[in-house]
Amino acid sequence: TYTNGHVGTADGPETTEADTSGSGRMRKSLEGRGSTQNDSIHLKRRVGLFSGVALIVGTMIGSGIFVSPSGLLVRTGSVGVSFLIWLACGLLSLLGALSYAELGTMNTSSGAEWAYFMDAFGPAPAFLFSWVSTLVLKPSQMAIICLSFAQYAVEAFVSECDPPISVIKMVALLAVIMILFVNCYSVDLGMAVQNIFTAAKLVAVLIVICGGAYKLAQGNVQHLTNAFNNPAPSVGAVATAFYTGLWAYDGWNNLNYVTEEIQNPSKNLPRSIIIGIPLVTLCYALINISYLAAMSPIEMIESEAVAVTFGNRILGALAWLMPLSVTVSTFGSANGTLFAAGRLCFAASREGHLLDILSYVHVRRLTPAPGLIFHSLIAAAMVLYGTIDSLIDFFSFTAWIFYGGSMVALLVMRYTKPNYPRPYKVPLIIPILVLVISGYLVAAPIVEKPQIEYLYAVLFILAGLIFYVPFVKMGLTPRFMDKVTLFFQLLLEVVPTSSMAM
């Protein structure tokens, strides 16, 4: 099958996520439908402890740490509170991930939230998750990362004034198109881009940390003292500051999408989480200190691209390295995100959850082109109509509803499925705490500053049910859909995977 064909070639962090989440879902659906196709689907367990850690760290470190520190300072108005929020976001991600470790070692099929919702609540909530992640979560991730890419790419060429928004948006669109092309062209090309760019990302992180250490050694500690002098921020402001920080940590649940591919998952899943997330938290804390060693909080807020300002201060003639490595790093993240998004869409539609055409693959290139194009179109619209900050808020709000949902799933299953084997059992207080915090994160910004966007987000999630009942549960297909499918099949040269011999 298609999925099988690519598990062998899949190498980069996001790949495995995509591949397995696809097969995990498919496996489930096949079981559900009693199909015999199941035989051909098996995944190799190739992810050991090292790649598990790399998978978490590689996904988490993306655009956020190069963009969010200024936003966090604006929202909290204080260096000290910002720093505490950075640490708290790391801790929250760790606690969330530990809860996911119980879920992932208990239900060992890939697909994370989808699989847990299916077990705990049944198909309708699981459908709502794939509906929202395909239409909103994955495309908004893509849009945010491409906008950050553009901000840094453009910033490298302007020094005197702020670059025009329209230029940034055009460059971001260009990034969406380039990444779409790469991923439609071949899976191998997508992977090569992913691996090279992940390495570059780590170099960027190291440059910042070393630069900061150098500045501190010179005695530049003035912006780090008196960190708590400003008035305390409001409850809602803290919640939105968390959104900004948590974006940089997003991806902590990534290994749960690939459980089927982890060697000895009951040991390696919790271990990778316990190593990976504190490592990222440490990097982020050090990077924040480095920024403040090189510039004042005011300068940080005013800077459109902190890492560039940092480079200009510290790297002298090599200042160009900074925007370059950030663009390379964000381009890599966006590539991985689209790769995963395409597979998610592919799997959900194959499940009967989305349009058939989205599960088809290109006849010769074997890439899930319709799914990729579909995502890129939504991402492009988000690039045109959104800003990084608004998209991050929107993303985090929606994502945390589902992360909270997974905590409920964990608690529910302690009651409904007490005898399931749980090789890793998280202390109950942890998921309860994460649930309470996610409730706060979702509710506080609404209470503090009711914005119509939040209502739209909730309505959008629920709107999924309008599609679920007739098209998924009852299995109705309007007659004209066959013609639409045929049209796009001819236009894009794509076929259903079952008709491909591989």
Per CB under 6 A, does 132 bind ligand ARG? no
Q: Report in angstroms how near the CB of residue 245 gets to ligand ARG at its nearest.
A: 10
Per CB under 6 A, does 125 bind ligand ARG? no
d(CA 326, CA 63): 8
Per CB under 6 A, does 393 bind ligand ARG? no
d(CA 339, CA 359): 14
- Residue 277 or 413: the one with the smaller Cβ distance to ligand ARG is 277
**Token pair for 206:** 């190291």
- Residue 2 or 403: the one with the smaller Cβ distance to ligand ARG is 403
Q: Which residues contact 81 (CB under 8 A, 6 or more apart)?
A: 228, 230, 232, 233, 238, 241
Per CB under 6 A, does 179 bind ligand ARG? no
Contacts 24+ apart (CB under 8 A), 120-123: 120/408, 120/409, 120/410, 120/412, 120/413, 120/416, 121/409, 121/412, 123/472, 123/473
Q: Report in angstroms how near the CB of residue 266 gets to ligand ARG at its nearest.
A: 23
Q: Report in angstroms how near the CB of residue 256 gets to ligand ARG at its nearest.
A: 11
Among 60, 94, 115, 407, binds ligand ARG (CB under 6 A): 60
Contact range with ligand ARG by CB under 6 A, out of 26-34, 243-251, 271-279, 464-472 = 243-251
Per CB under 6 A, does 329 bind ligand ARG? no
Contact range with ligand ARG by CB under 6 A, out of 43-51, 170-178, 246-254, 457-465 = 246-254
Per CB under 6 A, does 145 bind ligand ARG? yes
Do residues 54 and 46 lie in contact, with contact meaning Cβ atoms separated by under 8 Å? Answer: no
Q: Helix (H, G, I), strand (E, B), or coil: what is residue 372?
A: helix
255 φ/ψ angles, rounded to the nearest 5 degrees: -65, -25
DSSP 319: T
Per CB under 6 A, does 251 bind ligand ARG? yes
- Residue 64 or 311: the one with the smaller Cβ distance to ligand ARG is 64
Per CB under 6 A, does 337 bind ligand ARG? yes
47 φ/ψ angles, rounded to the nearest 5 degrees: -90, 110
Closest residue to ligand ARG using C-beta atoms: 62
Q: Which residues contact 220 (CB under 8 A, 6 or more apart)?
A: 293, 294
Per CB under 6 A, does 141 bind ligand ARG? yes
d(CA 485, CA 478): 11
Residues at the interface with ligand ARG (CB under 6 A): 59-60, 62-64, 141, 145, 247-248, 250-251, 254, 333, 337
